[in-house]
Amino acid sequence: MEKIYDVMILGAGAGGLTAGIYASRGKLDTLILNEGVIGGQMVLTNEIANYPGVETTPGYELANIMKKQAKDFGCTIKTNIKIVEYHLDGNIKTVVLEDERVFKAKSVILTPGGRPRSLDIPGEKEFEGRGISYCATCDGDFFHDKEIIVVGGGNSALEEAVTLTNFASKVTIVHQFNEFQAFAHAVEEAKKNPKISFIMESELREYIGSDKLEKVKIENLRTHEITEMDVDGVFVFVGYKPNTEAFDGIITTNDRMEFIVDAAMKTNIEGVFAAGDCIAKRYRQVTTSVAEGTIASLSASEYLRTKK
């Protein structure tokens, strides 16, 4: 007999895992399908210090705890898969994998998350992985006693810059504005670190090197003066792009390709909900994704009750 799950969750970041915990604990037959790494953007965070009730912990550890909770409540998790077809209309939702496996459910929660935004400047593709990184946790260890640049002015940029001082001899933060958009404590911590310096109102214009990154061009946005700076590595933290391209023309999005949802996390399709960094919202934190995953799961449960 063909299996039909109650809830199918597409993505296993903070929002997806939370939705899985709530749905499976609510005795719903729950499936999580995940194409990338379990934990999503959490895994890229060296330390999470502001998650309520949890002492400072590496992001991957928090992700593993959430994964274990979901599985202990009976949630089925399938990872390292590739979805090639989505059929979300109707009472039964269907996805088809690259290996032609088919999964069906009565409701769907979309939590595909996002990915680091690049600068889209000359040399970026050539030097990705050869001096350019988007993950301090992943690559910081390669830059012991090196001089590096961190691009960005939000919480991630400043917090990861501080983390990178554990490896690098010098960290220069390059930011396009004359003040930071991060929380006050993050700014204060970065400014008091003796290894960190700042180049404000400036942007990178080009990556330069041979076999690996060797220098960058930086433009001062006030004077338009362009200077070259020798550097061993660049870490880019300028936000994320939602992983929503596969749903173009299926789920309603805004001009930034973020899913538009209501207060119950409902999308434009009945029985399809969304949560996490893929939705239109102002703040992107582990706690906000967890809250949205909770709401999406409870809303899916309520939807299923109305359909009985």
Would you kindly state where each structural domain of the chain is located, as residue ranges?
5-115+240-307, 118-236
To 10 degrees, what angle do helices 155-164 and 184-191 make? 30
Q: Cβ neighbours of residue 210 under 8 Å, at least 6 residues apart? A: none
Q: With DSSP H G I counted as helix, E B as strand and the rest as coil, what are the percentages for the chain, rounded to 5?
A: 30, 30, 45
HSE-CB at 12 with a 13 A cutoff on CA atoms is 29
- pLDDT, one tens digit per residue, over 25-80 is 999 999 999 998 899 888 877 778 889 998 888 889 999 999 999 999 999 999 99
Is the pLDDT at 218 greater than 90? The verdict is yes
Q: Kindly indicate the confidence band of residue 108, based on its pLDDT and cuts at 50, 70 and 90.
A: very high
| pLDDT of the residue at 93 | 98
Domains 5-115+240-307 and 118-236 are alike in CATH topology: yes
> Which residue has 């009750």 as its token pair?
305
* Nearest alpha-carbon partner for 31 in 129, 97, 98: 97
The DSSP call for residue 11 is -
Mean pLDDT of 20-24: 98
Q: Mean per-residue pLDDT for 156-179?
A: 95
| pLDDT average, residue stretch 248-255 | 95
Quick one: pLDDT at residue 296? 98
Full-model pTM: 0.80
- For residue 150, give the nearest of 86, 115, 193, 110 by alpha carbon: 193
268: left (phi over 0), alpha (psi -120 to 50) or beta: alpha
Q: State yes or no: pLDDT of 270 exceeds 90.
A: yes
CATH code at 118-236:
3.50.50.60
pLDDT for residue 259: 97
Contact between residue 204 and residue 174 where contact means Cβ atoms under 8 Å apart:
yes
Number of residues that make up the chain: 308
Domain 5-115+240-307, architecture per CATH? 3-Layer(bba) Sandwich (3.50)
Closest residue by Cα to residue 205 from 215, 217, 213: 217
* Amino acid of residue 22: Y
pLDDT band at 153 (very low <50, low <70, confident <90, very high): very high
DSSP symbols for 236-275 = E-S-EEES-GGGTTTS-B-TTSPBP--TT-B-SSTTEEE-
* Per-residue pLDDT, 36: 83
pLDDT, position 5: 98
